[in-house]
Chain A
Amino acid sequence: MNIWSVTNHQTIGATMTIGKCWGLATAWYHDRLSPDFHRRTVEQALAIFAELSLTGPFWSPDTGTPTP
């Protein structure tokens, strides 16, 4: 990641294993095809992050940030 960051002039955000990302993807997308799916609230998003121990500034919202 550090080599990629320097080579591409990009800052590093958050990283996680594919296994953990699968947990996030499952929690986030499992109901995406439902006709009842509407915009996920900030609170729902934060609950998903907390369940996966995704904490810290990277996973925190600004006030009023919309989520789908």
Chain B
Amino acid sequence: MSVSEATLWQMRHLIYQVFATTGRAPDLPRLARTLDLAEDDALEALRALGEMHSVFLTGDGRGVLMANPFSAVPTPFRVSANGVDWWANCAWDMLGIPAALGSDATIRATYAADATATELRVIDGRVEGDPGIIHFQQPFRHWYDDLRHT
């Protein structure tokens, strides 16, 4: 691989920083430009991160689909904080976003059981709002078999 391990971790950090500040995943040209890489090298690094499960890639392998807890595509789990909106990958990740940000947040989600909407708030490190149950379907030993389903 022509890209150094240090560059891989720089790319990972950049992906997370862009997600955290914009609510969106950076595209490949932005990754290449910011890290001063040729686009082919940026693609190689991105795919290496995908193979390591540091991030999860789109079907064509050229974009970021997920960098847990952040989703690049719409989901039933919406988190808002500091004027930014994010999609979370799942119910755990909808709590993971404010945990990662260290921020108060408003969470809007849809219960899978009956498709009703719920709203939670994270205030000063506590979760408040409609009590509910979070369901983990896949046991820990399978979490990385197919994280898109998990």
Residues of A bordering B, CB below 8 Å: 1, 3-4, 8, 10-19, 21-22, 24-26, 28-30, 32-33, 35, 37-39, 45, 49, 57-62, 65-68
List 27 A–B pairs whose Cβ atoms lie within 8 Å, in order of A's numbering: A1-B133, A4-B113, A13-B136, A13-B138, A16-B133, A17-B131, A17-B133, A17-B134, A21-B95, A22-B95, A22-B99, A24-B92, A25-B95, A26-B125, A28-B92, A29-B100, A32-B16, A32-B69, A32-B99, A33-B100, A35-B13, A58-B140, A60-B139, A61-B141, A67-B143, A68-B52, A68-B144
- Complexed CA–CA distance, A33 and B15 (Å): 10
Which chain B residue shows the least CB distance to A27?
Answer: B99
Given the complex, which residues of B lie within 8 Å of A8, measured CB to CB? Answer: 112
- Complexed CA–CA distance, A32 and B12 (Å): 10
Given the complex, which residues of B lie within 8 Å of A18, measured CB to CB? Answer: 95, 120, 127, 131-134
B114 → chain A closest CB, angstroms: 8
Given the complex, which residues of A lie within 8 Å of B52, measured CB to CB? Answer: 39, 66, 68
- Complexed CA–CA distance, A22 and B93 (Å): 10
- Complexed CA–CA distance, A16 and B133 (Å): 6
